[in-house]
Amino acid sequence: TNLITLDEGFVNTGSTRSAITFLDGEKGVLRYRGYPIEKLAANCDFIETAFLLMYGELPTAREIETFRSGIREHTMIHEDMKSFYNGFPRDAHPMAILSSVVGALSTFYQDSLDITDQRQVEISIYRLLAKLPTIAAYAYKKSIGQPFMYPKNDLGYCENFLRMMFATPTEDYEVDPDFAEALNLLFIVHADHEQNCSTSTVRMVGSSNANLFASISAGISALWGPLHGGANEACVNMLEQIAMDGGNVKKYVDMAKDKENNYRLMGFGHRVYKNFDPRATIIRSCCDKLLAKLNLDDPLFEVAQKLEEVALKDEYFIERQLYPNVDFYSGVIYRALGIPVQMFTVLFAIGRLPGWIAHWREMHANPAFRINRPRQIYTGCTEREVVPVSER
């Protein structure tokens, strides 16, 4: 035991070498494969970014065409998978549905489960990227009791998703290009974030040589928690509560400072970023632009700005270097797009998928790869006698 280093919550433990994402928490820098996310957001779409993360380079015109058409081939889900949705209660959380249905991909697509066969792994990758938006939109349709809308393959990735969410068999849905652009940007800024909780989970599960669908399903479960991806939903619920409470942000800031309770400002703070979260900066400016363009006056945006202003001037938040993170303003954009709050973390999952896959692939390509198996420092009883039940 003396040789074991204890690092509760892995604050300072590198679990692997990785060439995918670079983070500088002090300077607020985030790069995928060397490219700053601001540049990627301005010049590339989400599918190019996914290719970059997974394969290491931005695709050529030809490569991206092949990649896009490969994804299009797999957008439908097996018809029998629909019966899963029939079995879920109507009010089930879509994240629960997402992780279950993704887990169930291993039952329907058994021809791509062999992780030692590169061709099968590639097919699983295409299947995941193509089907996740379909699985997600079906979860939403189920929750509102509407029929599922099949994917439409002449649409782009984001357009297709929005249409599957909002079209009905009786009325098609014309996707506003500004909506698709905003969604594209959100997916890009969510696409990877080195060894965060869900990515470490995907690596951990994958390190046992579990198949890709099983590993990603585990990642989705990890993302659901409110300290991680679930913070975007929790944040909008918090903003709503503050708005209903007369917009009294000070009261909530004080509650978050009070160590007598566990209340935290959702969408604030980050394990690595100690100056600002570069993703939050991009999202906030997108939010500004989108609301102006749509001529929308979302009271929650006002509450969010007020909350940020008050918190950033407060000693407590300054001392602890707590700033708005990626989840703080993203919900306001999702609301402007008409996306219901329960779906926010599902959108995070669609965005993060390429990052999870990139890490899973990188791990298996690493010659030093071994099963992940942390140790512990045992604090329980020393050896003791078993007392028979009659004498206990």
- Rounded to 5 degrees, what angle do the CA atoms 107, 112, 117 make? 145
Active site residue 327: yes
The region of 39-47, 75-83, 266-274, 361-369 touching ligand CMC under the rule CB under 6 A is 266-274
Using CB under 6 A as the binding rule, whether residue 269 contacts ligand CMC is answered as yes
Q: Which of 216, 256, 290, 303 binds ligand CMC (CB under 6 A)?
A: 256
Residue (128 or 326) nearer to ligand CMC, CB: 326
* Interface of this chain with ligand CMC, residues 104 to 133, rule: CB under 6 A: none
Number of residues that bind ligand CMC (CB under 6 A): 20
Q: Which one of 45, 277, 298, 327 is the catalytic residue? A: 327
Active site residue 91: no
The region of 94-102, 110-118, 260-268, 372-380 touching ligand CMC under the rule CB under 6 A is 260-268
CB 149 within 8 A of CB 164: yes
Using CB under 6 A as the binding rule, whether residue 249 contacts ligand CMC is answered as no
For helices 197-206 and 212-224, the axis angle rounded to 10 degrees is: 150
Residue (112 or 199) nearer to ligand CMC, CB: 199
**Residues near 141 by beta carbon (within 8 Å), at least 6 away in sequence:** 147, 148, 149, 164, 165
Side-chain-facing half-sphere of 179: CA atoms under 13 Å: 21
Q: Which of 271, 293, 313, 375 binds ligand CMC (CB under 6 A)?
A: 271
φ, ψ of residue 169 to 5 degrees: the values are -60, -25
Altogether, the residues listed in the chain come to a count of: 392
59 DSSP assignment: P
Using CB under 6 A as the binding rule, whether residue 142 contacts ligand CMC is answered as no
For helices 177-190 and 344-365, the axis angle rounded to 10 degrees is: 40
Residue 372: Cβ-neighbour burial (10 angstroms; 0-12, 13-18, 19+): middle
Residue (296 or 318) nearer to ligand CMC, CB: 318
Q: Which one of 93, 190, 193, 270 is the catalytic residue? A: 270
Residue type, 41: A
Residue type, 331: G
Shortest Cβ 96–ligand CMC spacing (Å): 18
Please give the torsion angle defined by the CA atoms of residues 277, 279, 282 and 286, in that order, rounded to the nearest 10 degrees: -120
Using CB under 6 A as the binding rule, whether residue 353 contacts ligand CMC is answered as no
Residue (48 or 327) nearer to ligand CMC, CB: 327
Residue (137 or 266) nearer to ligand CMC, CB: 266
Using CB under 6 A as the binding rule, whether residue 265 contacts ligand CMC is answered as yes
Side-chain-facing half-sphere of 51: CA atoms under 13 Å: 20
Residue 148 CA to its chain's centroid (Å): 23
The region of 13-21, 109-117, 318-326, 332-340 touching ligand CMC under the rule CB under 6 A is 318-326
Q: Which residues are catalytic?
A: 270, 327
Binding site for ligand CMC (CB under 6 A): 9, 196, 227-229, 231, 256, 264-271, 320, 322, 325-327
